Amino acid sequence: MPEFNIKHITKYSYESLVRESLNHIILYPIEDDFQRVIKHDLKISGNPKVDIFTDYYGNKVGFFAYSERHNELEIYSELTVSTLPKELPSETMFSDLQWAELQKLRFQVPYIDYLKWEAFDGLQALKEITDMYMRMEVTPYRVAMDFCKYVYEHFQYIQGVTTVQTQIDEIWQLKAGVCQDFAHILSQMLRMANIPAKYVSGYICPNKNGIRGEGATHAWVEAYIPTFGWLGLDPTNNCIANETYVRLALGRSFTDCSPVKGVYKGPSNHELAVQVIVGYDNGLTDVHEPVVEKVETEAVAAPLVKGNSYRRNLELMQQIQQQQQQQQQQ
């Protein structure tokens, strides 16, 4: 049972003083039979009160307001997490029965959201590709693994060609991107094959083998396999995401799992620097230089709700929850 120590440092630097920032964080790891949080220290500039709730997908989400004037905002999260390996699916059920089981999930609430796929210009081309792998004698597990390999082999891992706002149309045209883009394509393929798929954000530990996605948060996919449950697949590295992967959040896409986002009053120009330091909980760590991004559309001078900080924070939570509920109904 490995134990990992993870430091996740997020720092916003503004060109001049800003005020009244409201922020949404998903930096609380998932806890279940295969992942346990031993220790979690969270430090935020100004020491604001963090209100915590559980969202529609079961993620633990924090909200906080920082009312003092500031030109920097740092969120420092340090974790000690233990993980357990999950056995791989065993082929004990006939493939046609497994596909029949998946058909029954289409109208069941826990799976509906993870079966919705997006319409985009390259949809027909992608459908032809997924159809090539869809044979009834092949199990959903094998199809999911084939899809994972396809994304790994046909998309180039290139940093900087996409952003968190990049849509699937552009990813398909570029045939390139980073882990979140790979995860979005694989999710689309699985859902088109009627296999429920979750987008997962988290970390790869301990980052010693030159694996893609090191030095930052990582993204992969969980596919639902009949008689087994949710299986983690990492298309960026063409492997099963098991005990060396630490899960932060689950959702339909990056939008549901963004570790940090917010709004503030002040100048629109700012930089976001993210640094992730991971290693075994024995003092040995892998340190990576901060990943610095120029952010133009995220967290820019948005109007804030009038009233006290608690009320603003509460209303922001309600607005986001309402948006999530509306998205579920679409």
pLDDT tens digit string along 227-272?
899 999 999 999 999 999 999 999 999 999 999 998 888 887 888 8
**pLDDT > 50? residue 293:** no
User: Could you tell me which CATH number the domain at 95-242 has?
Assistant: 3.10.620.30
Contact 73, 12 (CB under 8 A): yes
**pLDDT > 90? residue 115:** yes
- Cα–Cα dist 192/167, whole Å: 17
pTM value is 0.85
- Domain extents in the chain: 3-83+257-329, 95-242
Name which CATH class applies to 3-83+257-329.
Answer: mainly beta
pLDDT tens digit string along 31-83?
999 999 999 999 999 999 999 999 999 999 999 999 899 999 999 999 999 99
- Cα–Cα dist 230/68, whole Å: 44
The reported pLDDT for the residue numbered 135 is 77
